[in-house]
Chains A and B, each alone.
Chain A
Amino acid sequence: EVQLVESGGGLIQPGGSLRLSCAASGFTFSSYWMHWVRQAPGKGLVWVSRIKSDGSNTTYADSVKGRFTISRDNAKNTLYLQMNSLRAEDTAVYYCARATSGSMDVWGQGSTVTVSS
């Protein structure tokens, strides 16, 4: 079964750091671009970042550029999102998603990040 499972979310103070992980299974992880998408409470979906299959190319939304870093370990079938200098507006459920045919065809269940003092 193709599956993505996020972990690493939690409550963090403003200015703090957190690293999310996304464990992939059931497919050849190293062949796919991957995305992070977030959703603030009661709000819509917002794309955060993407990374090429081999990790050589990354792209970020302006709202997180310079603060967040996407990376992957293909040997461990795991995607990461390092989040630094966190702000209240970063509070959201963070989803990882697989990229296929110009779409996001498989999504994880999400990991909740709450930035609050």
Chain B
Amino acid sequence: QSVLTQPPSASGTPGQRVTISCSGSSSNIGSNIVNWYQQVPGTAPKLLMYSNNQRPSGVPDRFSGSKSGTSASLAISGLQSEDEADYYCAAWDDSLNGWLFGGGTKLTVL
């Protein structure tokens, strides 16, 4: 069971804004950066957001990230059908001395 907690599913219609949450603790999100990964089923994960709110080159500015205390969130505005994928948050955990991934959120574009 993941120590980073994400909602298993989220949905929205094209053009809407959707937010995905990631809840952790003081040993992970509370003291380390958060990254987000996007995975289209059957393909490899792709880095979507790093250092809480930094977008890699090529990621549209419709995607934004934030962190507050022991929680983080990923927001997607202007939802598009191509955004349908699984989204994972990740953070280093000082107690486990390893990386943690959230359980993943399956985003459906209705």
Residues of A near any B CB (own CB < 8 A): 35, 37, 44-47, 50, 59-62, 95, 97, 101-110
Contact = CB atoms under 8 A, between A and B. Distances in A.
B98 A47 contact: yes
A67 to B, nearest CB: 15
A110 B44 CA distance: 7
A30 B97 CA distance: 23
B46 interface: yes
A103 B2 contact: no
Interface in B4-56: 32-33, 35, 37, 39, 43-47, 50-51, 54, 56
B40 to A, nearest CB: 12
Contacts, number: 65
Contacts of A61: 98
Contacts of B33: 102-103
Interface of B: 2, 32-33, 35, 37, 39, 43-47, 50-51, 54, 56, 86, 88, 90, 92, 96-104
Given A102-B35, A107-B44, A44 B103 contact: yes
B58 to A, nearest CB: 11
Given A44-B101, A44-B102, A103 B51 contact: yes
Contacts of A50: 99
Return the 4 tightest CB-CB contacts between A and B, nearest first.
A47-B99, A103-B50, A44-B104, A45-B101
A57 B65 CA distance: 31
Nearest to A46: B101
Contact of B44 (A35, A60, A95, A103): A95
A116 to B, nearest CB: 21
B88 A45 contact: yes
B45 A95 contact: yes
Given A37-B101, A44-B86, 7 more contacts: A47-B99, A61-B98, A102-B35, A103-B50, A104-B47, A106-B47, A107-B44
Given A102-B33, A102-B35, A35 B50 contact: no
Contact of B35 (A37, A44, A62, A104): A104
Contacts of A107: 44-47
Nearest to B56: A105
